Amino acid sequence: MKADLSKIPSISGNNGYSLRCEEVKINGESAYCSYSVCQHTILAFKENRLPRTSFQSCATAIKAGKCKALKMMVEEIRKGESLYFEDMTALIKEVEERNKQARTIKRKRDSVTISSMVKKSATSQTAITDVYAALLEETTKETHEQIDQHMEAKQQ
């Protein structure tokens, strides 16, 4: 039976809260994990949807009662509010606004640019814009050549 996500306040995808997990190690160090990912992992484990080869350290921690995120989820559900939530939407808007307000450096008129250093050749060919189409065309030519050779051999 699937969990009612409306009862879990901070499980949304725009939750940027992360926690240091002693149970998940990366290069021998405790990892920082997305709380939202932890919540979905816990639900998948509880609902037997977690593949055996995925999130093995999480499954072990959940079984042993050592999962920090599980304890946090229980606390949030009991209180009925988001305790561990960082709104990524608000953060993204804040960064975008900061970037809009940042001054841009204007280039001096006579300064050297990369494009001014590249020598342009009058005989340069245009780039192939559709690689797939070019490969398909090449393969088709080869196939037609093979068919023609086969037909010629048959006629002889």
pLDDT in tens, 32-52: 999 999 999 999 999 999 988
Domain-embedded: residue 34: yes
Report how far residue 41's alpha carbon sits from residue 155's, in angstroms, rounded to the nearest whole number: 66
- The Cα-based distances of 52 to 26, 39, 58, 59 in angstroms read 19, 17, 11, 9
Ramachandran angles phi, psi of 26, nearest 5°: -125, 120
Q: What domain range is 72 assigned to?
A: 5-89
Closest by CA position to 23, among listed 56, 46, 52: 56
pLDDT in tens, the chain (156 residues): 566 777 777 888 889 999 999 999 889 999 999 999 999 999 999 999 998 888 999 999 999 999 999 999 999 988 888 899 998 988 888 888 888 877 666 666 667 676 666 666 555 555 545 666 666 677 777 666 777 777 787 777
Domain-embedded: residue 67: yes
Report how far residue 19's alpha carbon sits from residue 82's, in angstroms, rounded to the nearest whole number: 15
| Number of domains into which the chain is organized | 1
